[in-house]
Structures are given as C-alpha cells and as structure tokens.
Amino acid sequence: MKIGIDVGGTFTDAVVLDKGHMRAFAKRRTTHGQIMDGLLAVLDAVCKDVPVEQIEKVTLSTTIVTNVVIEGKEEQTDLYVIPGPGRNVEEAFPVKPIQIPGYTDHQGRVVAYFNRKEVKALMKQEVQAGHRPAAVSAKFAIRNPSEEQALSDLAKQSGYRLVSEGTKLSGALHFPRRTVSAYFNSAVQTTFSDFVKGVQDALKARHIEAPLYMLKADGGSLPIGALTQMPVEAVFTGSAASVLGMKALGGMPTSMAVALDMGGTTTDISLWKEGQPIRARGGVTIRDYPSAVQSFQVESVGIGGESYVSLRKDGTWQVGPERRGPSMALGGESPTLGDALIVAGYADFGDKEWAWQGLTQLTVLMGTFSTNKQRVELGQAKGQKQAVITKQVDKDKVEQVAKAIIEAAVDTIQEGIRRAVTRENKRAVYTVQDIVEAHRFKPESLVGVGGTAGALAPLVAKAMHISVLTPKEAPVANAIGAALAKETVQVSLYCHTGKQELTVPELGLQESNVGIYSMAELLAKGQGYLQDLAKQMGIQENLIVEVVAKEDFPVLDGGYRECRIMNLHLQGKAGVDTYVRD
Amino acid sequence: MLETKRQKQDKPALGLVFFPAFDWKISETHPERQERLLYTRDQLEEEGLLDHPAIREYNPLVADWNDIACVHVGAPDLHHWVTEAHRVSAGGAIAAAKALMEGDVKRAFALVRPPGHHAMRMVHGIRGFCTINIEAVMLAYIRRHYPVGRVAFVDTDVHHGDGSQDMFYHDPDTLYISFHQDGRTLYPGTGFMDEFGGPQAVGANVNIPLPPGTGDKGLHRVLTELVKPILDDFKPDLIINSAGQDNHFSDPLANMNVTAKGYAELAHILQADIAVLEGGYSVKEALPYVNTGIVLSMAGLDYSQVIEPAFDSVKYAQTDDVTRYIESLIAQWKVQWAQRDQLKAKTLSRYGDIYKTEKRIYYDETGISELRHETVRLYPHQVGWRLIDSQSTAGPYGHQHVMGMFIPWQADEVCRQEAYDELWRRKKEGQAKRYVIADEGKGLSEEL
C-alpha cells in the first residue's frame, strides 16, 4: 500500500492506495507555521485502519521549500561563480556573487584556470565570518565540470558546511539558471533537512518503516536521501501533484488537450499532448530569479468558484481574481461566481435561496447603474437583505445577470488558455523543417477537475467548440498524484566524436577515448548512466527511459575532418505507476 | 504616425529572431554548413540571453513567394534556386521588421541564415553563399506595410555587399553604405569610392574600402567621422545594419583585426533599428562572442566584459600605416560627399531620358557567368524603371536569357504603364525566353 500526502495552501490531504484502489483518505486544514501538525493529523487519520507493515512507500508533496523561498527566509549563502567573459552577472542572482576570474569556453576547453591560492585565501576569510553554506557555479561547466568541481572541493576544504554545484542540478545550457538553482539548493538545505528529520521521527513513532519519498517540481519523486542533496527540486510541487493527480484519475485524452484544475480562487491551465503534460521551457522562477528546476507548464488565472463579483466602471462584470470568502450559498457575505452558477442552473450546492439573494443584489446594482450611469458599491449583502427582498425583481433579469457573470468568467479562462497555447506555439525552433512543417498546438478537447469544474468546464469547452471531460471528482487528487508519482532522474550527455570526449555534468564525469561515433551508441551509453545514477540515488524501480531532447550535428574538426557533436538529454519518464479506479 | 506605434512603453529593448537553420548547408565542408551558428546558440543560451527580460525571442516567418518575386527575377526562374531555407531566412528578417514596426520592441536583430547581401536583382545561381537578398525582401515588405520613406543600410560585413549595392543602386531614397576590406584584396573585388549610385541616385551608394589589418580603432574612426555624419545628412527614417561578422581577427576568409567588443561598440554607435546577420565564418572563435556582444549592445546591456579567449592585443594591434591610410580615406570621402549634389546634377544632364550600361556577373558557387544589358528610365523629378536584359551560360540548366523589368517602389501609374509598354515592346522583338515584371510597390510579379 502507498501513502500520499499533499500539503497545499489551504488543505493538507492524505490518501492510502492499494493497487489503484483508494483505501482511506483525509483532509485537514494546513497549519501554517507548523506544517508538521497538519501533516501528522492527516497521517494519523488515514492510518487508523491500515496495518503499518503493509505500507510500502510514503510520498510527500509539501510547501516547505516553497514557503522558505517565497518568504525570503533562506539561509545566508556564499555564492561563488566563474562567469568568464560575457554578460555582466553582478545583479543576476539573489545575492551578490563572489566572482572568480577564470574561463572554460563553449567547447569545454579551460582557457584560464582560476587561481587556487587566491581563492583559498579568500574562502578562508569568508568562512571565518560565519558557518555558512556555499554554492558554486561556472559558465560552461556543463561542457567541462572540472573547474566548478575544483572550486567546490576547495570550498569544502576551506570549511564550508555544505556546497551545491550548478551542474549537479542541471546539465542544460543556461549558466544563470544553474547558478540560481545552486544558490537556493544550499540556502534551503537546513530547513529541508530539519523538516525531513521531523517527518522521519514521526513515521518512526508510528512504526511506519516504509521508505519516505518526496515529490519534485518536475512531477517525479525521489527517495528522501537523494533529495536531501537537491532540496531545491522540491519547490513549487503543488502543480506537479495536481497534474499527476489528473493523470492518475485516468482518461487524459491522447489528443491535444487543455486541462483545467478549477479551485476556489484560481484555475490552473495545463496543456497535454499524447496523454502527457507539456513541460515548461527553462525552469521555474523562484522569487523573480529563473532557475533550472524543471516543471510542467502551468498558467494560472484568477477565476474560481469563490471569485468575488463586482461591477466595473464601464458596467461590465469583474469576476475574480479577488476572493472575499465563500459563496453566499455556503454562508458567505458577498455574491460569487459559484452563486451565479447556482442561479443559472449549472450548479447545485448549499442554500440556493442565498445564491438568489446575492444575484438579486447584483441585478439591482446593475439597474441603478443603468439609470444613473454611476458606479454603486455593493454593501454587505446580509445587511441589505431586507431592502432587496421588498423589491420585486424579475426572475428572468436575475438569471440574465448570472449568465453575464458566467460569460465574463469563461472569457477570462479562455484568455488564459489562449495565452498558454500562444506560448507553446511560440516556442523557439531552429530548423527549416520545424518552421515549414510547424506543429501547432490546437486544443481538441478539454478536461476539467476541481470543485468548480463540473459546472464551469463544459461552458468553457462549449465556447471553444471542443469536447469536454469532467472525470469523477476525487477530493484528494493531489495526494493521489503524489502517492503514485514515478521516480525520475535526468542525465545530459555531450559528445564530440572527433575528440572522442564525453561529458555527463550531473555525474561530474568527463571521459576520453569513449569509442562513440553515432547517436545510437550515445543513447546506449546514456541509458547505462541513467540507470547508474538511479541506483546511486536509491531508486528501485526500472526507469522507462525518455529522450527529452537530442541533437546530432555534423561538424568539421580543425583539420577539416568530418565528425559529430551530439547532445542527448535523458530522463526516467515522469508520470504515475498505476491508475486509480473508483 | 510611424512614431506613435514605435513609442509603446515597457517593451523589451530587443526583438531577436534567432534562426540558426541547423538543418541547412551548401555542402558538408562549406563555410555555410549546419554548425555555423551552433556555438553561437550555445553561448547565447548559456549566457541566459534568450530569455532575458530585455530580449524577446521570435520565430521566423516563411516569406511568401510574392515577397521574393517582387524584388528578384530568376533564370530559368526563382523556383530553381530558392529553397524553403531561403524563404525562412527572408521570413526571419521580415519577422524582425514586423516586431519593430508594430512597436513590440525597440530594436530588432535577425540572427538568421542563409545570408543575402551578395544576391542581386537577377538570380542565376548562388554567389558569395547568397541566393536571395533577404534585406531587400524585408525592406520591400516594410515599405508595402508601413509608411517608411528614407532608409539607410550600413553593411558591416568584411566583403563588399555587391548584391545589396545592385538592389538599391538606382534608388535615391535608400542609402547603402558599406565598409569592407578593399576589393583589390578580397572577394567580390568591387566596392570602390566611384560606385556612388546610379544617375538618379548619385550619393545614395557609399563604399568605404578599408585596408587589410584594420582594427577596432580604425573601424570606430570611420564610423564616427564618416558614417555618422553621412547618416545625419541623409536623415533616414530607418537604419538597417547588414551585420556581417567577418571583420573579426580570427575570420578564416578575410584579414581584418576587429574584436567582439569592437563589434558591440559599433552596434552601440550605429544604433540601428534592425540588424540582419550576413557573413562571418570563424564559427568557434568569433561568432559566439561577436553575437553576444551585438545582442548585449542592442539590448542596452553591459558589453564591456565580452572578451574572446583568442584575443591578443599585441598581435592584433592596428599598425600606424593602416591608421594613416584610413585617415586619408576619410578625408577623401568628406570631399566627395560634399560634392554629391553637383555630381548628381551633372550626371543627370549627361544622360537625358535613358541610361544604359553593361555588366558581367560571376556566380562563384556554380560557375555561372551572366551578361547584363541594363536600361534605366530617367525622369526629371521621379524614379524610373530599370530593365535588365540578362543572359547566362555554363549553368546546370543551360543557356538562359531572361528580361526582368523592375518597377521602383515609388512608381506612379504613368511610370508603371511605361514599364509594361517597354517590356511588351521588347517581347515583340522576341530575343529572350522569359519577360518578367517585378513590382515592389504592389508586391507582385508578372510574366508577360
């Protein structure tokens, strides 16, 4: 049996899954400041009737790292960079970097070694100032990690408690992103380790001996031991859990699809191709700094079931992004999109009378607006209850207002979908073939999950003239996504067949005389390295190897000999290992 | 009306159409092969410039056949020479222009290939790695869609852009300035001071042939003391930089001593609205750094730390001889530039209504020789048509004889009708295989 726990912004959910069947689930308020309390509360709730020895695996998706970076509470960290010539990076990172002269070029040739003596002296001085962690990153270290590695070794020797290296976190081009990843990786490590220790102690106290896993932003999971080396990967895992949850609950169409996760305040839009969510280019942005942390591409719009409704100056309806509380049908004080959905007959929950009350208020407001051409603020709905009820308002008119409000919400969501699709279709491509035979993303179907999806998703689909699917609602989809997340790791290979050199930055590896001449040979080698890395990280399952990207260039050596430069990026395929049935 | 569109606030400083055409080559060992911009891609991506907030990346468009056929006439026809890659490269330049003209970005750089500045009005094959003139296709597109009058090109490729010179030679509203390594020492062997523009456009073609060994110092002197003042006199609505990168000290095909930072400085002084990549074949030592420098400079970012590893300030210093030569060249040019109006009046009075000339063009890539008889109609106060009677031999498609009638973008209906009448008259004489009208203003091409 597998346990999945998802710590979200509002709720902490837990689920126990037995081969695709949900054995137990629980939902508790997230306890901000004391995440562990809420977490233990759901854990205890779901474990009540489950024999602990049958638990095989516990997977967590938490906001612990997210909260640290959003609140700027990360630990003070010394950032050493070897930027070489190029862009000025003085202001590119969350802290002022300590810049070390030296340079490795785009071919991985060390043009200038950094001065070991000077750097050692400098580090000694810095370390004395406090017992801080450090992060190191060098431009083009992905082509030759030796200088970055040397800098890291020196930092450890100089007494830094822990050191993160950019290339260990990402083998992709983009020095600033790798550097930002390395910085945050070191800066959140203490908080992360403390949290992990807390969870481990709690599991132990409950005699749960199953291994602990944690979800990463890229939708894969890792054994906790491995993730402790790369805690930055556990940032912003909420949307990954949500996307995996959709997949686990089954039936993502194989056509090009738009998925909407419709909550109380926001709707998260993801795009799907062949049953797989599309990944974001580059990586997630952490406090305005683009990092190399991989994720799915998710676009958020401020429309949800509890979106506050107000009248704009021009007489049109403003729906969201503000939320003032629950819908009036659920005891709230101001009318919401959810109330409009009830009045228009698309939803059926709570006290309908109150929903009508709220919408009648808005109708009167609209009437006053039409005659005076002046904007009127809606007061506290409950306070005005008497006044409204005495007025006879035509039922049709109220329904019309509800429909206009829903239309405005659907427009906003469609706008968000258009933005997501445009971004996908503007993805840079670099070959004539990809331009001439452009593969444009065009949504063919829509999938809606979340509290508001049943009522609203069909309306969005109708406006877009595409089919809609609203899978049966599971109240703890994100926890299910976390529980079933496959384990993933990534490796990047860069091979120059002329020089017979191979670099695998994530492994800190540079080999010569590799005997590789073709992409097929490189792929075979890469698969081996991926499995090695998986083993090293304590992954037990067999990974399904996915080619994320590959490039194969015929190039000329200095002596006009033809050879090839090949780039290969492999990962264990992300996704879920089983589907959940009712 | 142009300005209002271009003054949108809060837009990225630079629109970048980066299109390395990783699947296009002339041949496996040709300088124009797949890897040409591979290391540039690596550098730009590693620097984090492709998703920098000051820079917005665009994909190229695919240029319509009419966008190309309204400026070029091909033999046997354009379809025999123009591939999808050329349409995408020209479409890349168009995408850059659109981003700028729509006011989405402050400046634009089409970092695309294949290049175009050796391609002339008639296309019998590939010359100097170029098939169609992507800047000319772009400019015709701009003129058809936006109210742009005077345009200045500054060609900073090491080779004389004889194709661009040919495209704009008779247009007084399009100033073409090229500085390049002296044609007596480098392909294509043209680009001298006396090529000063056709009779109706004297002063609209400025060639500045520089001595081998010119470095940053000489280049910047030419730019500030000559090019800038000429631009100030001409008052263009738009400045386009044909941004060849082969003045670099490491370029294998030329002999200049310019550095990456020198190129960035050049871009800073020039403040071009649009830059379009041309040549540059030191693909590992120069292009990654030169392009980083130009992109940083055009995006208004600090380029002072762009120093290529191969640079040696002693080895690549500009000699005193070269400095003196450049000084005297600038002085000579100042005299000629000051006399442009007199020269124009004199030239026009010499020719009357019709100007005729004869030319031989060599297409190095395919070994084709073209013989042209050109006729230009001269009016007192407007720009007239240009007819090219063009024959070639030794090409893969045998002997060719095509007449191309080029109607200037400024043409009115009278000029247009006269152009048609003239080509019909020629057709009656019946010597050529094809008679083609290329009409830039209408964006059309027509076979008579």
Q: What confidence score (pLDDT) does residue B2 get?
A: 45
Judge: domain A78-187, CATH 3.40.50: yes
pLDDT digits (tens, 9 = 90+) for A563-582: 999 999 999 988 888 888 75
Testing the interface with B: which of A142, A289, A430 to mutate, by most B Cβ within 10 A?
A: A430
**DSSP SS3 for B422:** helix
pLDDT digits (tens, 9 = 90+) for A253-270: 888 999 998 888 889 999
- Place domain A2-70+191-248 in its CATH homologous superfamily: ATPase, nucleotide binding domain (3.30.420.40)
Q: Is A353 exposed, middle or buried (0-12, 13-18, 19+ CB in 10 A)?
A: exposed
What is the spatial distance between Cα A200 and Cα A362, in angstroms, rounded to a whole number?
52
DSSP 8-state code for residue A23: E
Q: How far is CA A36 from the centre of its chain?
A: 22
DSSP 8-state code for residue B83: -
Give A504-573 as a DSSP string: EGGGTEEEES----SHHHHHHHHHHHHHHHHHHTT--SPPPEEEEEEEEEEEE-TTS-EEEEEEEEEEEP
Please answer yes or no on whether B19 and A281 come within 8 Å at the CB atom.
no
Tabulate helix, strand, coil % of chain A (nearest 5): 35, 25, 40
**Which carries the bigger pLDDT value, residue A451 or residue B315?**
B315
The pLDDT confidence band at residue A453, using thresholds 50, 70 and 90, is confident
What is the spatial distance between Cα A443 and Cα A242, in angstroms, rounded to a whole number?
20
**Residue A77 in tokens:** 């960290």
pLDDT digits (tens, 9 = 90+) for A127-143: 877 678 999 999 999 99
CATH 3.40.50 placement within chain A: 78-187
Q: Give the residues across from A268 on adjacent strands.
A: A261, A300
Query: Phi/psi at A462 (nearest 5 deg)?
Result: -65, -45
pLDDT of A374 > 50? The answer is: no
pLDDT digits (tens, 9 = 90+) for B338-395: 999 999 999 999 998 999 999 999 999 888 999 999 999 999 889 999 999 999 988 8
Measuring CA to CA, which residue among A570, A541, A571 is closest to residue A213? Answer: A541
Beta-carbon contacts of residue B114 (< 8 Å; ≥ 6 apart): B21, B24, B26, B32, B85, B86, B89, B129, B130, B131, B134
**DSSP SS3 for B196:** coil
Testing the interface with A: which of B18, B24, B41, B47 to mutate, by most A Cβ within 10 A?
A: B47
Q: Is A103 on the interface with B (CB under 8 A)?
A: yes
Quote the ipTM score.
Answer: 0.93
pLDDT digits (tens, 9 = 90+) for A288-302: 999 999 999 988 899
pLDDT of A33 > 80? The answer is: no
Identify whether A321 is preceded by a cis peptide bond (ω within 30 of 0). yes
pLDDT digits (tens, 9 = 90+) for A184-204: 999 999 999 999 999 999 899
The pLDDT confidence band at residue A474, using thresholds 50, 70 and 90, is low
Domains identified in chain B and CATH numbers: 2-341 (3.40.800.20), 350-447 (no CATH)
Q: How many CB atoms lie within 10 A of CB B380?
A: 7
Please answer yes or no on whether A562 and B29 come within 8 Å at the CB atom.
yes
What is the sign, positive or negative, of the torsion defined by CA atoms of B361, B364, B366, B367? Answer: positive
Q: Rounded to two decimals, what is the model's pTM?
A: 0.92
**Which segment of A10-14, B185-189, B194-198 scores lowest on mean pLDDT?**
A10-14
CATH 3.30.420.40 placement within chain A: 2-70+191-248
Q: How many CB atoms lie within 10 A of CB A431?
A: 18
pLDDT of A386 > 70? The answer is: no
B150 close to B235: Cβ distance less than 8 angstroms: yes
> Nearest-CA residue of chain B relative to A291?
B48
Query: Phi/psi at A386 (nearest 5 deg)?
Result: -55, -50
pLDDT of A376 > 70? The answer is: no
Please answer yes or no on whether B288 and A106 come within 8 Å at the CB atom.
yes
**Which segment of A11-25, A359-373, B164-178 scores lowest on mean pLDDT?**
A359-373
Mean pLDDT of A147-171: 95
Please answer yes or no on whether B29 and A556 come within 8 Å at the CB atom.
yes
Which of B42, B304, B305 lies closest to A173 in CB terms?
Answer: B42
What is the spatial distance between Cα B230 and Cα B152, in angstroms, rounded to a whole number?
10
Distance of residue B361 Cα from the nearest chain A Cα, in angstroms = 30
pLDDT of A465 > 60? The answer is: yes
pLDDT digits (tens, 9 = 90+) for B286-341: 999 999 999 999 999 999 999 998 888 888 999 999 999 999 999 999 999 999 99
Q: Is A92 on the interface with B (CB under 8 A)?
A: yes
Please answer yes or no on whether A87 and B288 come within 8 Å at the CB atom.
no
**Which carries the bigger pLDDT value, residue B384 or residue A251?**
B384
pLDDT of A384 > 60? The answer is: no
* Amino acid occupying residue A368: T
Testing the interface with A: which of B24, B26, B46 to mutate, by most A Cβ within 10 A?
A: B46
User: Is B117 annotated in the active site?
Assistant: no
Contacts of A281 in chain B (CB under 8 A): 51
Q: Is B79 exposed, middle or buried (0-12, 13-18, 19+ CB in 10 A)?
A: exposed
The pLDDT confidence band at residue A383, using thresholds 50, 70 and 90, is very low
**Which segment of A376-390, B175-189, B236-250 scores lowest on mean pLDDT?**
A376-390
Distance of residue A193 Cα from the nearest chain B Cα, in angstroms = 31
DSSP 8-state code for residue A330: G
Distance of residue A268 Cα from the nearest chain B Cα, in angstroms = 23
Contacts of A112 in chain B (CB under 8 A): 309
What is the sign, positive or negative, of the torsion defined by CA atoms of B84, B90, B91, B96? Answer: positive
> Nearest-CA residue of chain B relative to A177?
B48
Buried b or exposed e, range B61-77, using 16+ CB within 10 angstroms: bbbbeebbbbbbbbbbb
pLDDT of A456 > 80? The answer is: yes
> Nearest-CA residue of chain A relative to B23?
A431
A501 close to A512: Cβ distance less than 8 angstroms: yes
Q: Is A385 exposed, middle or buried (0-12, 13-18, 19+ CB in 10 A)?
A: middle
Q: What confidence score (pLDDT) does residue A387 get?
A: 43
The pLDDT confidence band at residue A381, using thresholds 50, 70 and 90, is very low
Contacts of A565 in chain B (CB under 8 A): 35, 38
Q: Is A555 on the interface with B (CB under 8 A)?
A: yes
Catalytic residue among B117, B118, B159, B170: B118
Q: Give the residues across from A112 on adjacent strands.
A: A103
Query: Phi/psi at B252 (nearest 5 deg)?
Result: -75, -15
Distance of residue B62 Cα from the nearest chain A Cα, in angstroms = 7
- Residue linked to tokens 């009248």: A311
DSSP 8-state code for residue A487: B
Measuring CA to CA, which residue among B291, B202, B210, B285 is closest to residue B245? Answer: B291
Contacts of B41 in chain A (CB under 8 A): 430
Report the mean per-residue pLDDT for chain B: 95
Please answer yes or no on whether B39 and A107 come within 8 Å at the CB atom.
yes
What is the spatial distance between Cα A370 and Cα A366, in angstroms, rounded to a whole number?
6
Q: What confidence score (pLDDT) does residue A438 get?
A: 85
B395 close to B125: Cβ distance less than 8 angstroms: yes
> Nearest-CA residue of chain A relative to B260?
A86
Please answer yes or no on whether A435 and B296 come within 8 Å at the CB atom.
no
Q: What confidence score (pLDDT) does residue A380 get?
A: 44
Share of chain A above pLDDT 70, in %: 94
A321 close to A307: Cβ distance less than 8 angstroms: yes
The pLDDT confidence band at residue B9, using thresholds 50, 70 and 90, is low
pLDDT of B3 > 60? The answer is: no
